[in-house]
Chains A and B, each alone.
Chain A
Amino acid sequence: MWAYFTRRLFIAIPTLWVVITVAFFLMRLAPGGPFDQEAPLPPEIMANLKAAYGLDQPLWWQYVNYLGNLLQGDFGPSFKYKDFSVTELIGQGFPVSIQNGAAALFIAVLIGIPLGAMAALRQNSGADHAAMTVAMTGIVIPNFVVGPLLALIFGIWLRDTMFALPVAGWNNGALPNRILPVICLALPFIAYIARITRASLIETLRTNYVRTARAKGLPFRMVVLRHAFKSAMIPVVTYLGPATVFLLTGSMVIETIFGLPGIGRYFVQGALNRDYTLVMGVTILAASLVIFLNLLVDMAYAWLDPKVRYE
Chain B
Amino acid sequence: MSDAPIRDSRPGANLSVPNAAALDKAADVEGRSLWQDAFRRLQANRAAMISAIVLIVMAFVCFVGPVLVPWSYEEIDWDILEATPPNFDTGHYLGTDSLGRDLLARILQGGQVSFLVGILATSVALVIGVTVGATAGFMGGRVDQVLMRFVDVMYAVPLMFFIIILMVVFGRNFYLMFLAIGFVEWLTMSRIVRGQTLTLKNKEFIEAARASGGSTASIIARHIIPNVLGVVIVYVTLTIPQVILLESFLSFLGLGVQPPMTSWGALIAEGAQEMEITPRTLILPAVCLSTTLFCFNFLGDGLRDALDPKDR
Contacts and interface: CB of A to CB of B under 8 A. Distances in A.
B218 to A, nearest CB: 35
A239 interface: no
B265 A271 contact: no
Interface in A9-39: 12, 15, 18-19, 22-23, 26-27, 29-31
Contact of B158 (A31, A136, A279, A287): A287
A142 B171 contact: no
Interface string B269-312: 10110011001001100100110011001100000000000000
Contact of A144 (B158, B164, B269): B269
B275 A152 contact: yes
A294 interface: yes
A136 B268 contact: no
B282 A144 contact: no
B169 A248 contact: no
A140 B158 contact: no
Given A145-B286, A271-B164, A156 B252 contact: no
Interface in A144-191: 144-145, 147-149, 151-152, 156
Contacts of B275: 148, 151-152, 156
Contacts of B171: 31
Contacts of A136: 294, 297-298
B141 to A, nearest CB: 19
B301 to A, nearest CB: 9
B132 to A, nearest CB: 18
Contact of B249 (A29, A30, A142, A279): A142
Interface string B246-272: 001100111100000000010011011
B168 A30 contact: yes
Interface in A231-250: 245, 248-249
Contact of B156 (A15, A29, A137, A252): A15
B1 interface: no
Interface string B145-165: 000000001011110111011
A139 B268 contact: no
A210 interface: no
Which of B153, B254, B297: most chain A CB closer than 10 A? B153
Interface in A255-311: 256-257, 267-268, 271-272, 274, 279, 282-283, 286-287, 290-291, 294
Contacts of A137: 294
Nearest to A256: B253
Nearest to A248: B158
B166 interface: yes
Contacts of A145: 268, 286, 289-290
B166 A267 contact: no
A192 to B, nearest CB: 12
What 4 A-B pairs are tightest by C-beta distance, nearest first? A148-B272, A140-B293, A30-B169, A286-B158
Interface of B: 153, 155-158, 160-162, 164-166, 168-169, 171, 241, 245, 248-249, 252-255, 265, 268-269, 271-272, 275-276, 279, 282-283, 286, 289-290, 293-294, 297-298
16 contacts: A26-B162, A26-B166, A27-B169, A29-B169, A144-B249, A144-B265, A145-B290, A151-B272, A152-B279, A152-B282, A245-B160, A267-B161, A271-B168, A272-B255, A283-B158, A291-B156
